[in-house]
Amino acid sequence: MQNETSTLHLFPSSILEDDVKHPVSATVPILSIAPLSIAKGGDVLAVGENGMGQMGMSSNIAERQNAQPVPKIPEKIVQIVTGPLHSVLLTEQKNVYSFGCNDEKALGHTANDDDDSDDEDKAYFGRVDFSKVITDKNEQIIQVAAGDSHTIVLTNLGKVYGWGTFRSSTNGPFGLIKKNRIESDPVEIHVPEKIIKIASGHDFALFLSETGQVYSCGNGETGQLGRLNRYTCEYGGRAGTERLIQPSLIQYNRNGLYEKDLMFEDIFASSHGFFLKVFKENHILAGGLNNFHQLGFESTEPVYFPAIVPSLEGHQWKKFAGGLHHTLALTNDGQVYAFGRHYEGQLGHENLDKHLVKPKLIENIPEEVCDISCGNHVSFILAKSGKVYSFGDGTSLQHGHGHQDIKIPKLISSKYMDIKQIQMIAVGSQHTLFLAADTAASH
């Protein structure tokens, strides 16, 4: 079926809260998205701090300056994700393993959640049991995503499951699917449509449907839900918490748009914000926290309803990766741009004296790039060769270069990184995971 939406026309952009549009599906094509997992499973390396067991290593190991293999994993891994203090792995057999902080049940298992456990090697690490919620033998998990205190998964049937809780800076944990209830085991998160991609920020989640619509749920206090104004985003207004945790359609800002009904073909979440790619167009909408211009807007006010980003016009964007206050952006032809906060070197440019409002090309990358990832104040660039370049804050050792801050992309070189081809990177607040294959395997 042909796309019946017309060409998108642009007018002077604004991020005001009025004139918002609730996306409505007409007769539209059914979308699909490329697999987010690798075809053949690999092994996992970890670097950084392990204070909560988030590196999957013994609690006796406080930190690792160089990436080391994560022990105990019984299956080959096809996808890795991290929350700030926990890690989640998807295996070739479509099983999910998790490890790290479980204070608010973000791991989805409790078998080893015992502070008095005599077996420190087994503490924190475990497999998530889906037998109570997935009963169809043909239903399999195809994607995982993680936030501060929650984890969500997507299946091949377009269903979403999750555990843990959403939380806000002012109210603490407030539930995942029911008010004030923390889910220790997987539960279904009901979304009105079939979902083809999920994404998690620190305290919110996005869902892309097969009709190109975007749903959100979780904490909205800095605009990261993209559907509540500044007066209702924290508590949900008269509808209360249920309005926050019930997945609902985002409402985009029409002040910069002529088109009535937009479809979206991809979603990207940062710590407290997000980017939306318009279907068959090069236009990007963004919403959420923008206090260091990490969304690319000149204003530093939160963006409560996603609006078109003028500074991102003129490029064909492939991916956005965001830290706490900065963003990396990857184009289809492998160029990497950075914008937002610069203090710790996370933008990959030397001698910056101010934060970047507009994307600035990182020019000193010696190889062709295929992927990008960000942590709070660190950045990673993955080359097609399987080598990794990183830069930013060295406080937690997670960029692989010791404790020093790195201002420009620097190749990570160590015993295991030198003999492996990295295929995927996941970055937490204090640790980093690498999904690795032997150098003999194709990248």
| 94: nearest Cα among 43, 57, 130 | 130
Lowest-confidence region among 88-102, 257-271, 318-332, 393-407: 257-271
Residue 30 has pLDDT above 50, yes or no: yes
Which pLDDT score, from 0 to 100, does residue 94 have?
97
Percent of the chain at pLDDT above 90? 80
Which pLDDT score, from 0 to 100, does residue 186 have?
98
Which pLDDT score, from 0 to 100, does residue 442 have?
44
Per the model's pLDDT, the better-predicted residue between 439 and 433 turns out to be 433
Per the model's pLDDT, the better-predicted residue between 28 and 299 turns out to be 299
For residue range 232-255, list pLDDT tens digits in order.
988 888 888 999 999 999 998 776
Q: State how far the Cα of 217 lies from the Cα of 222, in Å rounded to an integer.
A: 13
For residue range 387-438, list pLDDT tens digits in order.
999 999 999 999 999 999 999 999 999 999 999 999 999 999 999 999 998 6
Computed on alpha carbons and rounded to an integer, the radius of gyration of the chain in Å comes to: 21
Which pLDDT score, from 0 to 100, does residue 364 have?
84
Lowest-confidence region among 116-130, 254-268, 398-412: 116-130
Residue 12 has pLDDT above 80, yes or no: no
Q: State how far the Cα of 212 lies from the Cα of 394, in Å rounded to an integer.
A: 39
Which pLDDT score, from 0 to 100, does residue 260 have?
66
Q: State how far the Cα of 175 lies from the Cα of 169, in Å rounded to an integer.
A: 14
Lowest-confidence region among 109-113, 192-196, 198-202, 300-304: 109-113
Half-sphere exposure of 438 (CA within 13 A, CB side): 3
Query: How far out from the chain centre does Cα 436 lie?
Result: 20
Residue 345 has pLDDT above 70, yes or no: yes
- Band the pLDDT of 111: cuts 50, 70, 90: low
Average pLDDT over residues 364-391: 97
Lowest-confidence region among 26-35, 232-241, 289-298, 335-344: 26-35
Cα dihedral 434, 435, 440, 441, rounded to 10, equals -150
Domains located in the chain, CATH noted: 20-41+76-309 (2.130.10.30)
What residues pair up with 403 in beta bridges, in sequence order?
Answer: 401
Which pLDDT score, from 0 to 100, does residue 238 have?
80
Q: State how far the Cα of 111 lies from the Cα of 129, in Å rounded to an integer.
A: 11
Average pLDDT over residues 23-39: 75
Burial, 1: exposed, middle or buried (Cβ in 10 Å; 0-12, 13-18, 19+)? exposed
Pair of tokens at residue 414: 């160590």
Q: Can you tell me which residue has the tokens 């081809």?
A: 421
What is the three-state SS of the chain? Answer: CCCCCCCCCECCCCCCCCCEECCCCCCCCCCCCCCCCCCCCEEEEEEEECCCCCCCCCCCCCEEEEEEECCCCCCCEEEEEECCCEEEEEECCCCEEEEECCCCCCCCCCCCCCCCCCCCCCCCCEECCCCCCCCCCCCCEEEEEECCCEEEEEECCCCEEEEECEEECCCEEEECCCCCCCEEEEEEECCCCCEEEEEECCCEEEEEECCCCEEEEECCCCCCCCCCCCCCCCCCHHHCHHHHHCCEECCEECCCECCCCCCEEEEEECCCEEEEEECCCCCEEEEECCCCCCCCCCCCCCEEEEEECHHHCCCCEEEEEECCCEEEEEECCCCEEEEECCCCCCCCCCCCCCCEEEEEECCCCCCCEEEEEECCCEEEEEECCCCEEEEECCCCCCCCECECCEEEEEECCCCCCCCEEEEEEEECCCEEEEEEEECCCCC
Average pLDDT over residues 101-121: 70
Residue 117 has pLDDT above 70, yes or no: no
Which pLDDT score, from 0 to 100, does residue 279 have?
93
pTM for this prediction? 0.91
Which pLDDT score, from 0 to 100, does residue 353 have?
93
Percent of the chain at pLDDT above 70? 88
Which pLDDT score, from 0 to 100, does residue 158 have?
98
Which pLDDT score, from 0 to 100, does residue 282 have?
84
Which pLDDT score, from 0 to 100, does residue 235 have?
84
- Band the pLDDT of 4: cuts 50, 70, 90: very low
- Band the pLDDT of 258: cuts 50, 70, 90: low
What's the mean per-residue pLDDT of the chain? 90
Pair of tokens at residue 250: 């985002």
Which pLDDT score, from 0 to 100, does residue 438 have?
65
Per the model's pLDDT, the better-predicted residue between 438 and 2 turns out to be 438
Which pLDDT score, from 0 to 100, does residue 289 have?
98
For residue range 269-317, list pLDDT tens digits in order.
999 999 999 998 889 999 999 999 999 999 999 999 999 999 999 999 9
237: phi > 0 → left, psi -120 to 50 → alpha, else beta; which? left
